[in-house]
């Protein structure tokens, strides 16, 4: 049985990962800024009769709050085995539409939220001599993704952070993985730029996204991929198969990948 924290656990990918963990018998802290949503998820997970779940309100942009939660879990349970730094926000719009508010929110949540989680969890796991940090990035952290470059930039940064930390942690008992999914059918697609200035992609962008990528993956399928990747200690967990194909293509021919992304932008602008 592992002791795990999942940030952004009230919905989407976080909820699916928390469910997978509880189903295999783990104790999970469902952490989210949406305290009521986290409580609802934890209550439902506790009805499964397998592992255990509790809820915690957490703003990942608050470094002190993140550190307090992670250390508190370690103190209460005696260990902190798994950390899923998963909380994120969807930012969309053409570059000329974006304000510094869009950039700052993406950096604060998508990047600094992960930094805060790593900064809190890594010393605990080093002291234990064991643990696994799993950071959620995106396929947008591996390939060109226009019409949302603050999101893309932060996800590239999370990939680099994770792989660099994995190299440092090698041989010290701490494992690090980064999750890079293609488009997943979660509330992020229908809540683009929340509480931010509107752009052409604001609000419910799911329909526009499906024009460029009609095959939306489910959070439940992704959670299974994540759990398999964690069990294998994969550095990069890229899913689904068409996402891995896009990643391979971008590595082999970056110029072609940019061209394909530009064609997708053209289709969206015409529609």
Enumerate the domain spans of the chain. 3-270
Residue of 212 and 32 predicted with greater confidence: 32
Position 212 pLDDT exceeds 80? no
Q: In angstroms, rounded to a whole number, what is the distance separating the alpha carbons of residues 110 and 217? A: 21
DSSP 8-class letter at 193: S
CATH class of the structural domain 3-270: alpha beta
How many other β-carbons are positioned within 10 Å of the β-carbon of residue 251? 11
Average pLDDT over all residues of the chain: 93
With 0-12 CB in 10 A as exposed, 13-18 as middle and 19+ as buried, what is 57?
Answer: middle
pLDDT digits (tens, 9 = 90+) for 18-69: 999 999 999 999 999 999 999 999 999 999 988 999 999 999 999 999 999 9
With 0-12 CB in 10 A as exposed, 13-18 as middle and 19+ as buried, what is 49?
Answer: exposed
Q: In angstroms, rounded to a whole number, what is the distance separating the alpha carbons of residues 70 and 270? A: 47
Which active-site residues does the annotation give? 151
pTM over 0.85: yes
Q: In angstroms, rounded to a whole number, what is the distance separating the alpha carbons of residues 152 and 147? A: 9
For position 20, what pLDDT does the model report? 97
For position 210, what pLDDT does the model report? 58
**Rounded-to-10 torsion of CA 179, 166, 116, 107:** -60
Per cent of the chain over pLDDT 90 is: 81
* Backbone conformation region of residue 15, classed left if phi is above 0, alpha if psi is from -120 to 50, else beta: alpha
Confidence of residue 104 (pLDDT cuts 50, 70, 90): very high
CB 162 within 8 A of CB 59: no
Confidence of residue 200 (pLDDT cuts 50, 70, 90): confident
Confidence of residue 269 (pLDDT cuts 50, 70, 90): confident
pLDDT digits (tens, 9 = 90+) for 150-193: 999 999 999 999 999 999 999 999 999 999 999 888 877 778 88
Residue with tokens 């998508």: 110
């Amino acid at each position: 049985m592992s002791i795990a924290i999942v940030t952004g656990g009230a919905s989407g990918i976080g909820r699916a990962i928390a469910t997978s963990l509880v189903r295999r018998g783990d104790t999970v802290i469902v952490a989210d800024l949406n305290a009521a949503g986290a409580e609802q998820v934890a209550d439902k997970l506790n009805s499964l009769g397998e592992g255990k779940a509790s809820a915690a309100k957490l703003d990942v942009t608050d470094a002190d709050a993140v550190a307090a939660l992670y250390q508190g879990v370690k103190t209460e349970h005696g260990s902190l085995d798994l950390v899923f730094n998963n909380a994120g926000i969807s930012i969309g719009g053409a570059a000329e539409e974006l304000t510094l508010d869009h950039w700052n929110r993406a950096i604060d949540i998508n990047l600094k939220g992960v930094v805060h989680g790593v900064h809190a969890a890594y010393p605990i796991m080093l002291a234990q001599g064991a643990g696994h940090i799993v950071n959620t990035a995106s396929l947008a952290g591996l390939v060109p993704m226009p019409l949302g470059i603050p999101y893309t930039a932060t996800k590239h940064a999370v990939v680099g952070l994770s792989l660099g930390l994995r190299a440092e942690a090698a041989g010290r008992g701490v494992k690090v993985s980064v999750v890079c999914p293609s488009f997943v059918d979660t509330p992020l697609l229908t809540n683009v730029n929340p509480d931010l200035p509107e752009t052409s992609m604001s609000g419910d962008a799911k329909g526009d996204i499906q024009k460029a990528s009609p095959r939306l993956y489910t959070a439940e399928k992704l959670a299974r991929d994540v759990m398999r990747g964690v069990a294998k200690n994969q550095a990069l967990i890229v899913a689904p198969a068409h996402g891995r194909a896009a990643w391979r293509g971008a590595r082999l021919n970056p110029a072609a990948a940019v061209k394909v992304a530009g064609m997708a932008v053209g289709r969206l602008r015409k529609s």
